[in-house]
Structure 1
């Protein structure tokens, strides 16, 4: 069975119209639960970002029922095909002002597939997805499939086609925390 280490996770944040980019240290080196600050220059609102990763562990109880737990990935974490990882993105408005139109783009790491319907977000956030490298986003990505005989059908995009998740929060009140999670599976 092939084994590999995850190289890195990027977090791209837009606050209002001000872009911010940070490279979060990857699991392959030393996983840090580092943070970054996204700042809206017009209102001086600040969002501090934390990205964490966990690996799903599967065990059985005495009756043979599967039990799922999550283990934080730190240090030289090694994952194998089939492993499921959960990413948690935490954003904290450290300022005393409202931050409007917070948009966070999270790429799906290479050699990973998004676990369909695993994303959720607090604070009335909206989740949209890209299957074209982050050029466009939609709530329900679709693909066109040509059937035998030449007929073309539109179908839901497979999990392996997802390239990015976009988290959109209309507003983040002062001194408030938002939290989003999503899962991927190692190919």
Structure 2
């Protein structure tokens, strides 16, 4: 009896849906569903790649030794991390935000970020908040607290918010430098 009831209900639901689908209002909803699925298929796809280069100083000339994704470094070596975002989709990517942590055992080199058409902000609290000029509270000899620029060793993350869209097939590259502690 239950099998017959479930079968009957399924048949009635199928007939009701096919009848409603022939109505103009329902047909436009189906078209809307098709348009939505097409829009989802035409989504932006960003591929990120990170590379590192080591600063080499020779005869007062500074060059960068590209190392791909790994480098051997000693204390006081300066490294440049580059993050490339490539639009692999078929739609422009707008308002892309890229965030990079400062690797453990390294300190950010102040004012070393590249920022082609981007707002750059920094975190000194493990990536919880970002500001353009991080400040720390310093207790003075007289007991007063004063806000001062955060030292390079306090920086934990760098964030770029691109102001320009990345067209399909195009890319954007940002970088920052660190010194090995």
TM bucket by the smaller chain?
A: 0.7 to 0.9
Larger helix proportion of the pair: 2
Consecutive unaligned residues of structure 1, counting only runs of 5 or more, are 1-40, 61-65
**How much does 1:78 deviate?**
2.2
Identify the range of structure 1 (132-141 vs 73-82) with the bigger mean alpha-carbon deviation.
73-82
Residues 1:147 and 1:125: Cα distance change in structure 2 (over 3 Å) = same
Q: Does 1:119 align with 2:119?
A: no
Q: RMSD of the TM alignment (CA)? A: 1.7
In structure 2, the gaps of 5 or more residues are: 1-39
Q: How many residues align?
A: 141
Alpha-carbon spacing, 1:42–1:120, altered in 2? closer, same or farther (3 Å): farther
Residues in 1 aligned to 2:172 and 2:71: alpha-carbon distance in whole angstroms: 27
| Aligned counterpart for 2:123 among listed residues 104, 123, 130 | 130
Higher strand share: 1
Normalising by the residue count of structure 1, what TM-score does the alignment of the two structures yield? 0.71
Structure with max Cα Rg: 2
In 2, are the aligned partners of 1:56 and 1:68 still within 8 Å (CA)? yes
* TM-score (norm. length: structure 2): 0.73
Per-residue CA distance 1:29-86 (angstroms, 9 max, x = gap):
xxxxxxxxxxxx68510111111100001111xxxxx111111225873211100000
Matched, 1:172 2:171: no
Q: Residues 51 and 68 of structure 2 are in contact (CA less than 8 Å); yes or no, is this contact kept in structure 1?
A: no
